[in-house]
A and B are shown apart, each in its own frame.
Chain A
Amino acid sequence: GENVEQHPSTLSVQEGDSAVIKCTYSDSASNYFPWYKQELGKRPQLIIDIRSNVGEKKDQRIAVTLNKTAKHFSLHITETQPEDSAVYFCAAMDSGTYKYIFGTGTRLKVLA
């Protein structure tokens, strides 16, 4: 069945360093890939997304890259700040069913 693998499960970086989270999807029909940030006790919030006809998208300190051939996409956060500490989820949407499959999450800790 459809599956999205996300790595690493936890990530600690020093403030100011970059963080990279990677996801691999199995369903070649997936064509939309959002990333969510969930702070403790709060709802997941969409931070960036990418569609299959685009290879890269950037929004200030956050960027997402997509490699359709390899079926993987990554979240890049530059100049990390303590407020970036949260759990990040990737997801892939099947273009036929519109069903979302989520990765298992990455707990990012930015150390001041």
Chain B
Amino acid sequence: KAGVTQTPRYLIKTRGQQVTLSCSPISGHRSVSWYQQTPGQGLQFLFEYFSETQRNKGNFPGRFSGRQFSNSRSEMNVSTLELGDSALYLCASSLEQGGYEQYFGPGTRLTVT
């Protein structure tokens, strides 16, 4: 089976712009979670989608949003980018919610200038 894929892998944006990141889970996986990884804060949970519905949300401002499509692919959007949004954004998929093994994608490296 193909692993979790994320596009694009690298992105450079300027402050104030918006960005959309995409995640394709492992075939058959229905849950997709998004994380922000920074050197100072480690892995921070953004949100989780299951069956096209956001099931969980972390402590991030409303500028961060996402969605999931019927084929389980997910996108996350960040509006009005700030310098502090520079990070590696990882998505992870699992078969179902709740204690199933999570598999991570390679991440999208976002740099905000």
Cβ 8 A contact of B104, one of A31, A44, A93, A95: A44
B107 CB-CB contact with A under 8 Å:
yes
Could you tell me the distance in whole angstroms from the C-beta of B33 to the nearest C-beta in chain A? Answer: 7
CB neighbours (8 Å) of A44 from chain B are 43, 90, 104
A43 contacts partner chain B, Cβ-Cβ < 8 Å:
yes
Q: Nearest Cβ in chain A — how far from B81, in angstroms? A: 23
Q: Tell yes or no: B42 within 8 A of A by CB.
A: yes
Tell me which residues across on chain B come within 8 A of A98, comparing CB atoms. Answer: 48, 55-56, 97-99
* Residues in A neighbouring B99, C-beta threshold 8 A: 31-32, 51, 93, 95, 98
Give how many A-B residue pairs fall within 8 Å (CB-CB).
Answer: 53
Which residues from chain B contact A34 at a C-beta distance below 8 Å?
101-102
Q: How far is the CB of A95 from chain B (nearest CB, A)?
A: 7
Interface residues of A in 36-61 (CB under 8 A from B): 36, 42-46, 49, 51
**Contact in complex: A46, B48 (CB < 8 Å):** no
Given contacts A43-B107, A45-B104, contact A100 B97 (CB under 8 A): no
Which listed residue, A42, A95, A99, A105, touches B48 by the CB 8 Å rule? A99
Which residues of B in the span 39-71 have a Cβ within 8 Å of any Cβ on A? 42-45, 48, 55-56, 58
Given the complex of chains A and B, what is the CA–CA distance between A44 and B43 in angstroms? 10
3 closest A-B pairs by beta carbon, nearest first, are A32-B99, A102-B43, A43-B104
- Interface residues in chain B, defined as those with a beta carbon under 8 Å from any beta carbon in chain A: 4, 33, 35, 42-45, 48, 55-56, 58, 90, 97-99, 101-107
In the complex, 15 of the A-B residue pairs with CB atoms within 8 angstroms, ordered by the A residue number, are A31-B99, A44-B43, A49-B101, A51-B99, A89-B42, A89-B43, A91-B43, A93-B99, A97-B56, A98-B98, A99-B45, A100-B33, A102-B35, A102-B43, A105-B42
| A residues apposed to B, CB below 8 Å | 31-32, 34, 36, 42-46, 49, 51, 89, 91, 93, 95, 97-105
